[in-house]
Chain A
Amino acid sequence: MRKKKLANLKEAAIRAFFFTCGVLAVLVLLGIFTTLITTAFPAFKEIDIGRFLSGKIWDPTSPEKAEYGILSMIVSTLLVTGGALAIAVPVGIGVAAYLSDVAHWRVREIVKPIVEILAGIPSVVIGFLGIVLFAPAISKVLHIGHGLTALNGSLLLAVMALPTIISISEDSLNAVPVTYAEASLALGASRWQTLVRVKIPAALSGIIAASMLGMGRAIGETMTVLMATGNARTFPDLPGGILESVRTMTANIAIELGEVPFYTTHYYALFAIGLVLFILTFVVNLVADVVLNKYQEREQ
């Protein structure tokens, strides 16, 4: 009788422990969100929110007139991230398809761990490579004065997003039932046709999820872009802007938050940029979720 009571108590304690763990994640997220909102909100007492989002000039320490427009940074962030995805998604899917369908198992055993090691390289090291290796190469190949451009950032972020895209895409390609491929081959399709028309479409939900996760990594990355893109506050005119120096939202926060006087409009405005960034990533995740759900529903 007593033993049973003790067991019940133990059970309840364990249940409480795991419940707390689960709730903690939610609480932390809520805490971050409220801090962001409450610290960002005072900025809009002095800055018009429309001008904040549509203004192209950011110069809070200007001796003439402080300007708080973040459109240049939003466009720059999207430009660098979009460029990174344009490089990383095709390459990532290619590598994943190669690993899952073409490569000899011995090659796969060597390449896969290498790809995973790539994910562990600190972003500051990748940024350093951007300065000493990628930027000079870009300036030589494209005959432009310097390589500290949005393109440089995109290339580096592509390198950083690749491991995520490759591993998840490969997993989802492997998860496609063997019967699909067998049926396709039995109908006379070549291995290429089977891969492109049967396996990749079947694994599409995983591949989209992989790309979105890669995008999440790229959009929030700070150190690499801070070191590699030149940080000019200029508005990147499209499409030539990919070869200009740009400053992303993350880089701007990292540069300025360290030395900003506390509780000033500038300070609150930096948190407002953080809030915009948060909303942006939230929307990306939401869209990814909706797309995934739609796709899975259709499949069933």
Chain B
Amino acid sequence: MKRIITTALVFMGLSLGIGGMAAAQRGKMIQVKGSDTLVNLVQILAEQYMEKNPGKALAVLGGGSSTGIAGLTNGTCDVANHSREWKQKEIDLAWEKGVSPRFFVVAVDGVSIIVNEKNPLDKLTMAEIGAMYRGEVKNWKAVGGPSLPVSLYGRQSNSGTYVFVQEHVLGNKNYSTDMKEMNGNAQIIEGILADEGGIGYVGVGYLFDENGKVRKGLKVLNVSKTPGSQAFSPLDKAAVDSGDYPVARALYQATNGKPSAAVADFIRYEIGDEGQQVVVKEGFFAISPAHKAQNEKNLR
């Protein structure tokens, strides 16, 4: 809600400043709607884009991926933000209505799994992490660690990361009620630093100290998709780009057919160097070269 008001205020400020131009621009305002995971990021990108390009106007709303997809299908928005792929049903409905969606990857969402450095484990499987957070595994011994009770740290239910981990790692099952729900990434890190039996998930952007090294006392676990397969680190950019690091997902924007010149200009800003710097600063991963190539193809 606050975001909407901010956007409205920014827009009003712009309209007042530019005066006559505003009336002409109002009709051209780009409507972006959808994923709550993306809404803050795209909001910030839009604000910076509008600052650099006076006269351009964007309104960014949340509501969830499904809201955005429905909006694009019904023609109530120009760009849909979505943090999951479209369901076949949604694509069929869009085609039926004459909408042919094109997809752009604007950021990669992922979390690192962290433990105290005194924990001798180096890697876990997705299934093991899920079992721990569902409360099925209560001692580190069960996953090959020391005989210590597992102490879970996570985000609060209003956080996008909470939902992401629940969907992606827990298999859409309930979190254990024993999980300590912390008021932000930094607090999870504080907790893990002091807790030998602790396990937590945080955005990669929060792991480093002022010298760009992983903070002292923390250990970032490697994660493997299945028990037999190789485990990858979220710090390994290549593994994240190739999709080998399992606790990550692409975040998309969709347009109806080839994006209009105004929309294409904004998407170019987002996926360009400047935009991707914002993406990383907000705690997401930058997009991979493969994503970039795909985006360029869809812009043409």
Which residues on A are within 8 Å of B, measured CB to CB? Answer: 57, 59-64, 72, 131-132, 135-136, 139, 145-148, 226-227, 230-235, 245, 247, 255-256, 258-260
Contacts and interface: CB of A to CB of B under 8 A. Distances in A.
A3 to B, nearest CB: 54
A64 B196 contact: no
A102 B180 CA distance: 45
A62 B134 CA distance: 12
A145 B177 contact: no
A57 B148 CA distance: 26
A234 B178 contact: yes
A146 B156 contact: no
Interface residues of B, number: 28
Interface of B: 148-149, 151, 156-158, 163, 166-167, 172-175, 177-183, 187, 190-191, 194-198
Q: Which 10 A-B pairs have the closest CB atoms?
A: A259-B158, A230-B180, A231-B181, A146-B195, A233-B177, A63-B172, A234-B177, A145-B197, A245-B180, A255-B156
Contact of A233 (B167, B172, B181): B181
Given A64-B174, A136-B194, A247-B181, A146 B157 contact: no
Majority DSSP secondary structure for residues of A touching B: loop
Contacts of A146: 151, 180, 191, 194-195, 198
6 contacts: A64-B173, A132-B190, A145-B151, A146-B191, A230-B181, A256-B156
A91 B161 CA distance: 43
Nearest to B173: A64
Given A62-B174, A64-B173, A231 B197 contact: no
B276 to A, nearest CB: 27
B146 to A, nearest CB: 12
Nearest to B197: A145
Nearest to B180: A230
Contact of B173 (A63, A226, A227, A256): A63
Nearest to B179: A232
B191 A255 contact: no
Nearest to A262: B1
A131 B180 CA distance: 13
B217 to A, nearest CB: 12
